[in-house]
Amino acid sequence: MTTTSAEGARIEIRGLTKHFGHFVAVDDLSFDVEPGRITGFLGPNGAGKTTTLRMLLGLVHQSSGTATIDGHRYVDLPDPLGTVGAALEATNFHPGRSGRDHLLVLADAGSVPHRRVDELLELTGIPAAARKRAGEYSMGMRQRLGLAAALLGDPRVLVLDEPSNGLDPEGIRWLRGFLRHLSSQGKTILISSHLLQEVEQTVDEVVIIANGRLVRAGAMAELHGAPGAVVRTSDPARLAGALRVADVTSTLEADGTLVADTTDLRLVGDVALRAGLPIHGLEPRRADLEALFFELTEGTNRNEEGANR
Ligand SMILES: Nc1ncnc2c1ncn2[C@@H]1O[C@H](COP(=O)(O)OP(=O)(O)OP(=O)(O)O)[C@@H](O)[C@H]1O
């Protein structure tokens, strides 16, 4: 099934594989990226993210499988500029040319009006800086310029390789808001990162790969696991009993904390009060995403020596 509506465009990856000689960089990878969602494409360094994105954009030829955008291979897209915008590397700008000139050249090549360039420089927060030579740009400014270039044709699909690289915390916050705004317009957004935590608050969906293979795909919320309340008290067994009477199941952890299967912290507090038990700590349960990501991708950084222990 392919989406061909004028609104959203879906990315479909099916059995995508890339060999470099005997080395399998991407191995039978399949996943979808939906419109109106921000999808994080995650995996350790060397997992095969960039190679996958390059195949999607027709820059590298796959060994087998397919990668389509709005039902077409990139090379067959009737309107590539208006369909997909990509920023794969933030370093390929001519150092002697200003950022604005760089965008103007791209705009001319794609018959995009010059006012769109200035509009995008405003939107990406570099209107003044873009008049300087690109060689003097910080990594963060190059990222913003790359984003502006990707958005020139107002594409329905945005593909960004490690867009947070080189951004300071304020820049990351800005990028998050910016991408949220674009996705609320129905755009399909795929961003890669080697750090789950970096995109945790940005993405709705995750596709996690390791050694070129899919290890997990689904909603970000699912990674957090079932919601719960972590409570510490003087007598957890007695609190568990009191909670049961209030129709709330719970589990006693080895460290003496009680995890109640509810998001209603107030209810847990009230039950404890009625049972005459002191509350030493009460908070929503949060998954340890760093540990989970490591578990899913453990020892698979193929760019580091001894990674495949
Ligand atoms: N042209 C090439 N020839 C040989 N091997 C390659 C080539 N391009 C990539 N590779 C290898 O394929 C693997 C996947 O690389 P890729 O750049 O896709 O990973 P990545 O997940 O994007 O990693 P990073 O986060 O470091 O960019 C790596 O081990 C890399 O060395």
Q: pLDDT tens across 53-83, in order? A: 999 999 999 999 999 999 999 999 999 999 9
Q: What is the number of structural domains in the chain?
A: 2
Q: Is residue 305 part of a domain?
A: no
Q: Say yes or no: 270 and 235 in one domain.
A: yes
Span from the CA of 152 to the centroid of ligand 1 (angstroms): 28
Alpha-carbon Rg for the chain, nearest whole angstrom, is 23
Ligand 1 pocket test, pick from 17, 18, 50, 164 with the greatest ligand atom count within 8 Å of Cβ, gives: 50
Q: Going by CA atoms, what residue is nearest to atom 26 of ligand 1? A: 45
Instruction: Give residue 298's pLDDT.
Output: 79
Output the six-digit token pair for 214. Answer: 């899919």
The atom number, within ligand 1, closest to the CA of 303 reads 29
Please name which of 11, 25, 22 lies closest in space to residue 213, comparing C-alpha atoms.
25
Q: Going by CA atoms, what residue is nearest to atom 25 of ligand 1? A: 45
Q: Is residue 299 part of a domain?
A: no
The atom number, within ligand 1, closest to the CA of 53 reads 18
Q: Is residue 295 part of a domain?
A: no
Higher pLDDT, 90 or 309: 90
Span from the CA of 51 to the centroid of ligand 1 (angstroms): 6
Span from the CA of 200 to the centroid of ligand 1 (angstroms): 24
Q: Say yes or no: 244 and 216 in one domain.
A: no
Q: Say yes or no: 121 and 184 in one domain.
A: yes
For the chain, the residue count is 309
Instruction: Give residue 1's pLDDT.
Output: 42
Residue 216 has pLDDT above 50, yes or no: yes
Instruction: Give residue 2's pLDDT.
Output: 43
Give the bridge partners for 250, in sequence order. 260
Please provide the DSSP assignment of the chain as one string. Answer: -----SS---EEEEEEEEEETTEEEEEEEEEEE-TT-EEEEE-STTSSHHHHHHHHTTSS--SEEEEEETTB-GGG-SSHHHHEEEE--S--S-TTSBHHHHHHHHHHHTT--HHHHHHHHHHTT-TTGGGSBGGG--HHHHHHHHHHHHTTT--SEEEEESTTTT--HHHHHHHHHHHHHHHHTT-EEEEEES-HHHHTTT-SEEEEEETTEEEEEEEHHHHT-S--EEEEES-HHHHHHHHHHTT--EEE-TTS-EEES-S-HHHHHHHHHHTT--EEEEEE----HHHHHHHHHTT--TTSTTTT-
Specify the CATH number for the domain of residue 192: 3.40.50.300
Cα–Cα distance for residue pair 286/303, rounded to 1 Å: 31
Q: Say yes or no: 209 and 254 in one domain.
A: no
Span from the CA of 143 to the centroid of ligand 1 (angstroms): 21
Residue 309 has pLDDT above 70, yes or no: no
Instruction: Give residue 64's pLDDT.
Output: 98
Q: Say yes or no: 39 and 182 in one domain.
A: yes
Residue 123: what are its φ and ψ, rounded to 5°? -60, -35
Instruction: Give residue 304's pLDDT.
Output: 56
Span from the CA of 43 to the centroid of ligand 1 (angstroms): 12
Q: Say yes or no: 160 and 89 in one domain.
A: yes
Specify the CATH number for the domain of residue 256: 3.30.70
The model's pLDDT over 134-187, given as tens digits with 9 standing for 90+, comes to 888 888 888 899 999 999 999 999 999 999 988 888 899 999 999 999 999 999
The atom number, within ligand 1, closest to the CA of 60 reads 1
Q: What is the mean pLDDT of the chain?
A: 90
Residue 211 has pLDDT above 50, yes or no: yes
Span from the CA of 140 to the centroid of ligand 1 (angstroms): 23
Return the HEC string of 170-188.
HHHHHHHHHHHHHHHCCCE
Q: Say yes or no: 139 and 276 in one domain.
A: no
Q: Could you give the ipTM of this predicted complex? A: 0.94
Q: Going by CA atoms, what residue is nearest to atom 3 of ligand 1? A: 20
Q: Is residue 307 part of a domain?
A: no
* pLDDT band at residue 3 using 50, 70 and 90 as cut-offs: very low
Q: Say yes or no: 129 and 276 in one domain.
A: no
- Pocket of ligand 1, beta carbon within 6 A: 20, 23, 25, 43, 45-51, 194, 302-303
Residue 307 has pLDDT above 80, yes or no: no
% of the chain at pLDDT higher than 70: 94
Mean pLDDT of 119-124: 93
Mean pLDDT of 189-212: 93
The model's pLDDT over 229-284, given as tens digits with 9 standing for 90+, comes to 999 999 999 999 999 999 999 999 999 999 999 999 999 999 999 999 999 999 99
Instruction: Give residue 306's pLDDT.
Output: 45
**Domain hosting residue 237, numbered range:** 229-284
Q: Say yes or no: 128 and 267 in one domain.
A: no
Q: Say yes or no: 182 and 255 in one domain.
A: no
Instruction: Give residue 126's pLDDT.
Output: 87
The model's pLDDT over 13-29, given as tens digits with 9 standing for 90+, comes to 999 999 999 999 999 99
Residue 6 has pLDDT above 60, yes or no: no
Q: Say yes or no: 191 and 43 in one domain.
A: yes
Q: Going by CA atoms, what residue is nearest to atom 16 of ligand 1? A: 48
Among 223, 245, 275, the domain boundary falls at 223
Q: Is residue 18 part of a domain?
A: yes
Mean pLDDT of 113-141: 88
Span from the CA of 139 to the centroid of ligand 1 (angstroms): 21
